[in-house]
Structure formats: C-alpha cells, structure tokens
Amino acid sequence: MQLKPIFLGNTAINNNVFLAPLAGYTNYAFRRLCKGYGAGLCYTEMVSAKGLKYGSENTKELLYTDGEEGLCAAQIFGSEPETMRAACEHDALAPFPIVDINMGCPVPKIYKNGEGSALLEDPFLAEKIVKECVKSGKIITVKFRIGITADKFITTEFAKRMEGAGASLITVHGRTKDKIYAGEVHFAEIAKAKAAVQIPVIANGGVFSNADAETLLNETGADGVMVARAALFHPQIFCELTGMETESKLQMFEKQLKWTQQVCDERFTTVFMRKMAAFYVKGERGAAAYKERLFSTQSPQEILAIAREIWE
C-alpha cells in the first residue's frame, strides 16, 4: 500500500498504518512488538475515564509505557465531558500526547451505560465531550462507527461534528454497532466521511492483507488504515503493509514474552502469552493439540518450551 506520514498539528506520525485499540490485547509488549514491525501509531486498550478519576489500579496498569515504545496514543471511554477532560489531564496520561475517544465500542455493558457506540445516538453530547477534551491541550482523535443499524447511517454528520468540535483525526469503522466485528464493511460511508472533513481520516475494517488495505484505501480515499483482529493472529502484517523485513515466529514470540515479563507478574504473563501463542499457532499442523497443551501450562517457561517445539 501507499505509505505516507500523517500530521496532527506539529506531531508527525511516520506512516499511515495504525494498530487498533483492542481490549485485553494492546498492552505495552504487544504495542511495542507491532511498532517494531512498522505500525505508525499504536493505541492502548480502551481505558475508563471514571476508572482514572477514582484511582483504579487496573486502569493505571493499562497505561504502562516507556521510552522504548515511542509515540503511542491512549484511548479513553466515558460519557461525562468533565470526567473525560479530567482523564486527559490525569498524570497517567502524561506520556501520551494523543488521546483517542472511543465512540464505537459495541459491547452491551458499555453501550447500555451511554458510552462507546451509544454516543452515536447523541451527537450533541459527543461534540461536548470532544470540545472539553480539547481544552486539556492533548491532541484529540475520535474512533466511531457508521451508525447503530444500517437503516440510519450517521457518518457524514458525525464526522463534521467531530471536526467542528476540535478533533485532529477521525477513524471510521465501516460497520454498524449491531454487526459487532463481522459483516460487510461499507466503503461508501467511509468515503463520505473523507469527503466531509479536512482532517485526516483513517479507515478501519476488514484489513487482513496488503490487498485488503489497498482496496480499503482505493474505495474510500482515506488517509490510512487501521488493523485490528488480523494483528492478533499475525503481528507481522505490519511488515507486509510497510515493506519491512519479517522474522521467525519464534523470534517474535520470544521478544513479546520477554517484554511482557518485564512489566507483568508471572500469572498475567502466563495467561496472556498462552492466549497469544494460541493465536499464532492457528494454521499450524497439529494446532488443536498444541492449543490444548498451551492452555494447561502454568508458567512462561512451559509456554516457551512448547513454542520452541512448534517453531524451531
């Protein structure tokens, strides 16, 4: 695909291939891995603005970063403008110059709480949230879907409102809330968002290969693409999209395991890395048997031993 830098004011992002925020997965080690494979910008898991307000330790752990990771964006969710601004100004977000506001999460408990994709139904509140967050001095971006259901797309109006409220970039997931993560990606709706605003537009949905990325860009005119689920199975998709050299699965796995161990305890590392190994082993001969063994492991060392058996 055609690479180009993305400029958000005075902040330059090296290229237009982004890693999506993925709840439960885009922690420090995974982001650093994808960044090393060429991702121009990576996002944290979505973080609760209220969680930051009330000092949730779990929320703060989601925001761990260091100087080795490079430029990274934090994603927050919530529905109270003042609380969202306070989150942007929280010390835990100090390392993140870019804050993305989640207006697309379809998970029922988020939606029923008036957060995530529920904001698509209240554009005035969505505007107010962005305006308030901009006052924090952070670069504010917004990720949203094209509507709740296909009988009422909100893409054009919503894109204009986000730009008008002060967003520096929007990411448009080309599916409606009711489709969750499956179904058709509506290229035409993303194209309408691109035509409606002057700020950069990133297209999200259905990118599993370089060909998919090229199709998404050609059909929408977007400035870049965001990769989500494909990265869980194949983090080196970013090498494919950016032309970087790949390495072996074992090298990749060992690197991610080491970085996870650096910042997480043994229990979390074990649970997380056996999930990742299960993603990476998909398509391998004997994958089902390997997965069964992986999920019976009790330590990172056991997981690594199986990984070496599979990929050495």
DSSP notation for 16-31:
SEEEPP-TTT--HHHH
Looking at domain 6-242, its CATH architecture is Alpha-Beta Barrel (3.20)
Residue 159: Cβ within 10 Å count:
26
What is the rounded CA–CA span in Å between residue 37 and residue 210? Answer: 14
Residue span(s) of the chain under CATH 3.20.20.70 come to: 6-242
Q: What b/e string do you get for 205-239 counting C-beta neighbours within 10 Å, with b at 16 or more?
A: bbbeeeebbebbbebbebbbbbbbebbbebbbbbb
pTM of the model: 0.96
Provide the annotated active-site residues: 105
pLDDT for the residue numbered 262:
93
Which amino acid is present at 136? S
Q: What is the pLDDT of residue 277?
A: 96
The domain 249-311 is classified under which CATH number: 1.10.3470, 1.25.40, 1.10.405, 1.10.1200?
A: 1.10.1200
What is residue 78's predicted lDDT score, i.e. its pLDDT?
98
Give dist(CA 32, CA 30) in Å, integer.
Answer: 5
64 in helix, strand or coil? coil
Count of CA atoms in the C-beta half-sphere (13 A) of 189:
24
Mean pLDDT, 10 residues at a time, the chain of 312 residues: 94 97 96 98 96 85 89 97 97 96 96 97 98 98 96 96 98 94 92 98 97 98 98 98 97 98 95 96 92 95 96 92
pLDDT at site 57 = 81
Give Rg (Cα) of the chain.
19
3-state helix, strand, coil in the chain (%, to 5): 50, 15, 35
Domain with CATH 1.10.1200 in the chain: 249-311
Structure tokens at 237: 């998709």
pLDDT at 180 (0 to 100): 85
Which H or E run contains 269?
helix 266-280
The tokens of 157 are what?
């109006």
| Helix 155-165 with 123-134: angle, nearest 10 deg | 30
Q: How far is residue 227's CA from residue 240's CA, in Å, rounded to a whole number?
A: 12
Q: How many helices (H) and strands (E) does the chain have?
A: 15, 10
Determine contact, residues 52/92, Cβ cutoff 8 Å: yes
Taking a C-beta distance cutoff of 8 angstroms, is the pair 204, 226 a contact?
yes
d(CA 170, CA 292): 41
Q: CB-based burial of residue 261 (10 Å sphere; 0-12 exposed, 13-18 middle, 19+ buried)?
A: middle
Return the sign of the alpha-carbon dihedral for residues 261, 266, 271, 274. Answer: positive
